[in-house]
Amino acid sequence: MTPLLQVKGLTKTYGRHIGCRDVSFDLFPGEVMGIVGESGSGKSTLLNSMAGHLVPDAGQVIFDTRDAGPRDTRAMSEPERRMLSRTDWAFVHQHARDGLRMGVSAGGNVGERLMAVGARNYGAIRASAVDWLDRVEIRADRVDDRPTTFSGGMQQRLQIARNLVTGPRLVFMDEPTGGLDVSVQARLLDLLRGLVRDMGLSAIIVTHDLAVVRLLADRLMVMKDGDVVETGLTDQVLDDPQHGYTQLLVSSVLQV
Amino acid sequence: MRGGAARRGIWNQKKMDAMIEISDLTKTFTLHNQGGAVIEVMRDAALSVAPGECVGLVGASGAGKSTLMRMIYGNYLAASGRIIVGDVDVATAAPREILDLRRETLGYVSQFLRVVPRVPTLDVVAEPLLALGVPEAEAQARAADLLARLNIPRTLWGLSPTTFSGGEQQRVNIARGFAHDYPALLLDEPTASLDARNRAVVLDLILAAKARGAAIVGIFHDTEARDRVCDRIIDVARFTPGMAA
């Protein structure tokens, strides 16, 4: 099976400071990978370097494109990369405000991404928007409301709907449940799990919450000071950590 | 595939039929934050389980029964040795291969129910089937059947099991573990804290799984239950360094 994403030797530095160093892994279709580590470990740098938000110093991010098979996204033209990020890729930000247009209605936020890939029929766009809002449990009578009137959990669900409406194959998530109430987190986790299963999505989730990765991620990557120190099956890494840092991380949590 | 059928030889014919085959298995824990102490908890473990066979693990607390089960499931990492389940060596397989194995071939009823809060019990039980692509209606019907057999009141099916009693959670866990007909099953104390009626239901489920050809490894402190379902008993103390009988 061809990996959906192959990351090879990805390195990003900020001057003399190392963001992430020589990271390599394969992600297969339908797999969810978690990246954990404390603040400053380089996990967000890695995510943003993969997603094209940061320009890495070295390495390749090879994506199995629908048309031309595996291609290094770093070697793509800017319009190609932008198209990719609107179609097969999605990025869910920790703060929904960073991923939404706050001045546009909920339906508009979802419809906009469809229009960006060429949808023109207003009725079809609206129907699709309503359908997606329903899937993320936002009632149809809120379609014309702006996200500013939504709660934090609703905004996050709207951001997910906006990202998934074009049927992406790979979703990058940066602390998707961070800053939400525990009950809202659970609801979002359930939603994400269902979407991953039903749509066959692959996802890369950055979080510092080990309980979240246990429930959501198949595989886990542990980062410290820009390096990947351990990888493996999520439950294996959490229950039988091999690296000293992972052992410390796991034993520092009250209950995972 | 390691070895290959041809190279195994005729004397190994019986072993070729095994669903689970463990050999030379060693397990150590290295405690990096306690001076790098290395604790060897298992040495030269070997076990072969045929389809339709149930093997009970016994041994004193701490002898390594759960450790062995967790290693078969890929939850604990082997230091060396082989853990063949079907055609996968869990000891060396990539995470993706182990995930496939767990989805299709190897089931595990642990003592703890770990679920996303808020998800209804019926969906928790149906989930392993949905992951295999079974249509939702069919998966839910199977889940409903198991929950009914395990005497979970229908009024609870729409609620999350996180608030259930210990015995109820255990039965939900068992229903989930038996939803798909796994060719290999690991059962960690499946009858603990169950009343006589539910215990009988669980034993029937285990016997039915054996009858359809499942290879089962189980831990049963309940000796009556163990005698009813197990074909063989293995004392794991003989795999425990310094505890050998």
Residues facing residue A221 across a β-bridge: A35, A231
| Rounded Cα gap, residues B206 and B210, in angstroms | 6
pLDDT at B243: 59
Nearest by CB to B76, which of A215, A219, A240? A240
> ipTM surpassing 0.85, yes or no?
yes
B119 in contact with A, Cβ within 8 Å? yes
| Rounded Cα gap, residues A37 and A91, in angstroms | 20
Q: What is the CATH number of domain B50-77+93-239?
A: 3.40.50.300
Q: Indicate the domain borders of chain B.
A: 50-77+93-239
Mean pLDDT of B53-80: 95
Number of other CB atoms surrounding residue A105 within 10 Å: 18
Tell me the pLDDT of chain A averaged across its residues. Answer: 92
A75 in contact with B, Cβ within 8 Å? no
Q: In the predicted model, is pLDDT for residue B214 greater than 90?
A: yes
Q: Chain A residue with minimal CA distance to B35?
A: A244
CA of A22: how far to CAs of A6, A155, A233, in Å? 13, 35, 21
Listed residue (A87, A93, A106, A100) closest to A177, CA to CA:
A93
Check: CB of residue A226 under 8 Å from CB of residue A35. Answer: no
B93 in contact with A, Cβ within 8 Å? no
Q: B118-129 in b/e burial notation, b at 16+ Cβ within 10 A?
A: ebbbbbbbbbbb
Give me the helices (H) in chain A, please: 43-51, 78-86, 96-99, 106-116, 122-135, 152-164, 182-199, 210-216, 234-239, 244-252
| Residue A211 φ/ψ, nearest 5 degrees | -65, -35
Give the 3-state DSSP-derived string for A28-90, with helices as H, strands as E and coil as C: CCCCEEEEECCCCCCHHHHHHHHHCCCCCCEEEEEEEECCCEEEEHHHCCHHHHHHHHHCCEE
Task: Check residue B61 and report its DSSP letter.
Answer: T
User: What is the pairing mode between strands A170-174 and A202-206?
Assistant: parallel
- Min Cα distance B113 → chain A (Å) is 12
pLDDT at B215: 98
| Rounded Cα gap, residues A249 and A239, in angstroms | 11
A28 in contact with B, Cβ within 8 Å? yes
pLDDT digits (tens, 9 = 90+) for B121-134: 999 999 999 999 99
Mean pLDDT of B34-62: 94
State both tokens at A44. 């967000």
List for chain B the helix, strand, coil content (%; round to 5): 40, 25, 35
Q: Chain B residue with minimal CA distance to A219?
A: B95
Residues facing residue B234 across a β-bridge: B57
A239 in contact with B, Cβ within 8 Å? yes
User: What is the pairing mode between strands A58-65 and A5-14?
Assistant: antiparallel
Greater pLDDT, B15 or A50: A50
pLDDT at B21: 97
Contact B131 A197 (CB under 8 A): yes
* Residues of chain B found within 8 Å of residue A28, distances taken between Cβ atoms: 96
- Min Cα distance A58 → chain B (Å) is 26
DSSP 3-state of B219: strand
User: What is the pairing mode between strands B80-85 and B20-31?
Assistant: antiparallel
Categorise residue B225: left if φ over 0, alpha if ψ from -120 to 50, beta otherwise: alpha
A244 in contact with B, Cβ within 8 Å? yes
pLDDT digits (tens, 9 = 90+) for A200-211: 899 999 998 898
* Residues of chain B found within 8 Å of residue A230, distances taken between Cβ atoms: none
pLDDT at B115: 86
Q: Chain B residue with minimal CA distance to A190?
A: B116
pLDDT digits (tens, 9 = 90+) for B216-228: 999 999 999 999 9
pLDDT digits (tens, 9 = 90+) for A75-91: 999 999 999 998 999 99
pLDDT digits (tens, 9 = 90+) for A188-202: 788 888 888 888 899
Mean pLDDT of A140-160: 93
pLDDT digits (tens, 9 = 90+) for B136-157: 999 999 999 999 999 999 999 9
pLDDT at A176: 87
Residue A255's pLDDT band, with cuts at 50, 70 and 90, is: low
Residues 6+ apart with CB under 8 A from B72: B20, B22, B83, B85, B90, B106, B186, B217
| Residue B121 φ/ψ, nearest 5 degrees | -55, -45
Contact B33 A247 (CB under 8 A): yes
pLDDT at B14: 43
